[in-house]
Amino acid sequence: MPDEKKKKIVKTIKVDVDKCNGCRACEVACSALHAAPPYSSNNPARSRIRIIREPLKDIYVPVYAGEQAKAECLGRDKYVIDGKEYEECAFCRASCPSRDLFKEPDSGLPLKCDMCECDPTLEKPLCVQWCLVNALTYEEREEEAEEEPRPEDVEVSVEALVDKYGLEKVLDTMDRLSLSKKG
C-alpha cells in the first residue's frame, strides 16, 4: 500500500545538567557493558558517555559520543549559559582529532554511543539505569520514517566512500556484496 508511511522508533536520552552531580556512574556502566565479554572490565576512558566536569565552575555536562569527525572544525564554539563559560567543544559529540574524548585509549579508534544495542536487549540504556539522580532519562517515540532515500543522497554517500577508499576498492566491494546477496 503505497500511501502508508513507514514508522521508526526514535530513542532519546534527555540530559538534565542541573541534576548531574558529576559522579561518573554512567561512564562506569557504559564501559563495563561494552567490555568483551560484557562487564569483564571497566575503564571510563572507553565510555561512550563522558562527563565534562568542573565543579568549581559548577559545570557538569554529560556528553554522548556521536559520529566521528575526520578533521577538526575550523572554528570552535564556546557557550556561556547562566554566566558559566563552557570549554570549547564542550557540547560536541564527535570523536575528533582535536581531543582525546571518545577514542579507545590504546588504538585511538572512535567510540560511538549505540544506545546499548545488545543481546539480550536492555529495558533502558545502562547509563540511564545507573544514574539514580535522574540526570539522564530515556524516552522512545514513534516517528514517521523518511521516504526512500533520494538518488542524489545515495550518490553523495558513494562519493564519500570513493574519496576515502578509492574507486577500485569500492567497486570490488560492490561486486562482492552483490554476489553474496544473490546467493
Partner 1 sequence: MRYAETGYNLEIDLTRGNIERVETDPRDTELYLGGLGTNAKLIWDRVPPDVEPFSPDNLLIFGAGLLCGTPATGCNRTIVSTISPQTQLLAFSMMGGFFAPELKYAGYDKVVLRGKSPELVYIWINNDKVEIRDAAHLAGKGAVETAELIRQELKEPKAQVAAIGLAGENRVFFASIEQGRSSASRGGIGAVMGDKKVKAIVVRGTRDINVSRPAEYMQLCNEVLQYIKFRNENPIPGVMPILAGLGSPQEMKVHDEKWHTENFMWGNSRLRRKDFWNEEIAQAWAETLDSMRRRLISCYNCPMTCGATIAPPGRSVYMMKCFSKLTYTMAAMSDLEFGLGIAQSATEYGVDGFSAPQVMAFALELYEAGILTDQDFPGMPADNEGRFYWLLDRIVRREGIGDLLANGTYWAAKEIGQGAEAYAHNTIKKHEQLPLKLSMLNPIYFLMYSTGEKINITQIEGQFPQAPFPTRAERETFVKDWFQVPDDKFKQYFLDWEPRGEKSMPFYPTVQMCCDIVDWQEKMHYIDDALGMCAGLSSFPLKPPYHIHNYPKFISAGAGIAMDEEKLTQAVKRYRTLVRAINIRRGMRRKDEKPPADHWKKRFPELEKDLLDTYYRFKGWNDEGIPTEESLRELGLEYVFTDLEKRGVYADSGDTPPQGTGAQNEKEV
Contact set with partner 1 (CB under 8 A): 21-25, 28-29, 32, 35, 37-46, 54-58, 60, 87, 105, 129-133
Residue 37 preceded by cis peptide, ω within 30: yes
What one-character DSSP code corresponds to residue 89?
T
d(CA 163, CA 161): 5
Letters for 97-126 (x = contact with ligand SF4 by CB under 6 A, - = none) are ----------------xxxx--------xx
User: Cell match 561494552: residue?
Assistant: 34
Q: Report 138-167 residues binding ligand SF4 (CB under 6 A).
A: none
Closest to 105 measured CA to CA, from 24, 30, 45, 38: 45
Of 58 and 163, nearer to partner 1 (C-beta) is: 58
Q: Is 32 in the site for ligand SF4 (CB under 6 A)?
A: no
Out of 73, 109, 133, 158, the only residue in the binding site for ligand SF4 (CB under 6 A) is 133
C-alpha cell at 100: 582525546
Of 96 and 116, nearer to ligand SF4 (C-beta) is: 116
Q: Report 1-30 residues binding ligand SF4 (CB under 6 A).
A: 20-26, 29-30
C-alpha cell at 176: 562482492
Nearest-approach distance from CB 71 to partner 1, in angstroms: 21
C-alpha cell at 109: 579508534
Q: Which does 116 bind (CB under 5 to 8 A by kind): ligand SF4, partner 1, none?
A: ligand SF4
User: Cell match 553523495: residue?
Assistant: 156
List residues bridging with 63 in a β-sheet. 50
Q: Report 42-101 residues binding ligand SF4 (CB under 6 A).
A: 48-49, 51, 62, 64
The region that residue 39 occupies, defined by phi over 0 for left and psi between -120 and 50 for alpha, beta otherwise, is: left
Of 40 and 180, nearer to partner 1 (C-beta) is: 40
Element housing 31 (H / E):
helix 25-33
Out of 32, 61, 63, 135, the only residue in the binding site for ligand SF4 (CB under 6 A) is 135
Of 62 and 89, nearer to ligand SF4 (C-beta) is: 62
